[in-house]
Structure 1
């Protein structure tokens, strides 16, 4: 005898959980609005106890019974339909044939999350170069040197589309921090999007790339939106 999951169970679907029920008021168009869109989607899925489907925490293999697997398939399809209802038509074909909501979410995140390359590279660099604990003059000089190295690593990781912005930042006095530099690059990227510099045909990457060695973060350009090193963004 099968038992219907209660409302706290991730496999529970109410009579209101139908295709098109989730309308967050934002259509994902690309990197320029991914952060706002993903936040709104996560909040909405949280209210429906379906975050596990996009985070990969609720897997089909977690369930043993055939009816549970059927419930998972139904919930998974519903979450995919909710995502599809909130992305632009240009993006639908690229994610329509993904087998799970987790794969859909990961694909969109890799293509459009412009914070990935920055946060991942800085966390990796910080882990191998911890700042000194004391506040003496020699320590300050050492810290300034580390920050300069981090800034250079960040700038050298940008692709050639940002060579002019990179040269401008390197000539600035005083030298900006990595956070300030990052804000400048994002502003430059926004201006490029607004001016229509990026191709809308999908033949060019419209993302910021970050490349690194085998021991650190690494990216490559590919389909529209580019691909970047994965990192988690949580609520």
Structure 2
């Protein structure tokens, strides 16, 4: 790797380490104003068991910040001659080294800080982490394939969560199995075969009760569909089932409320007025039936119906009037 780039000031000073020299933005020694020690390179926290996934995320973040050379150790610390002023490059290297160490510390769980030494240079810290936590390929590959074999969609697990778990296993396995560079077309064949294998693994782990029918339809196709298309179809079916289930729950809730309130099923059903069990006429009950208890002395139509009430009721009308008179005294 070429050395860090330094440019002189507007007065024509060259890259000789003078105070007015400036580190170019293209140099790994350049720190942007936003590259502070509190920066987080990734949301993945190293917990002692996820080194491969974490290391890949850290390398990607450092690459984006043009600081990957620090963990690789390809940026040597500039030497300072005894008795001379520290050069601009040496100061920049020291600041970048401290900043990258802070980024690594931010990406490691706090409970592991006491077991990791952050006093050395970034390459030394990175080497220590790799030697301590990087598992051998064979045991880790065996563990991942065992997890892949047992990866099934839970009863209440969404398709997104299930697929995310599968993809994390596939991605880590891919780190241990690199596809060789090939110009004869064999790599394309193996890539397609690996894609079809992922489709079968994804479909096999789905909830049979929910997606068994759709899975059968996909497997009936002559050319096995791509993983992205299979995932999109299953996700669409999940959303359709969610909408259907929501409507059914609304209907069941409405039926439950209706059963509790005793409301009629048919909104257009006519209201039925009360009916007397004595005279069989509507709009009154037996306890208020004039035919049974007699008509009041000043009731509507007494002159016309009073006699009939007394004749049929055997004088009940008179008794009703006497009772009323006695009450008003």
Q: Give the structure-1-normalised TM-score.
A: 0.48
Structure with greater contact order relative to length (CA < 8 Å, sep ≥ 6): 1
- Rg larger for: 2
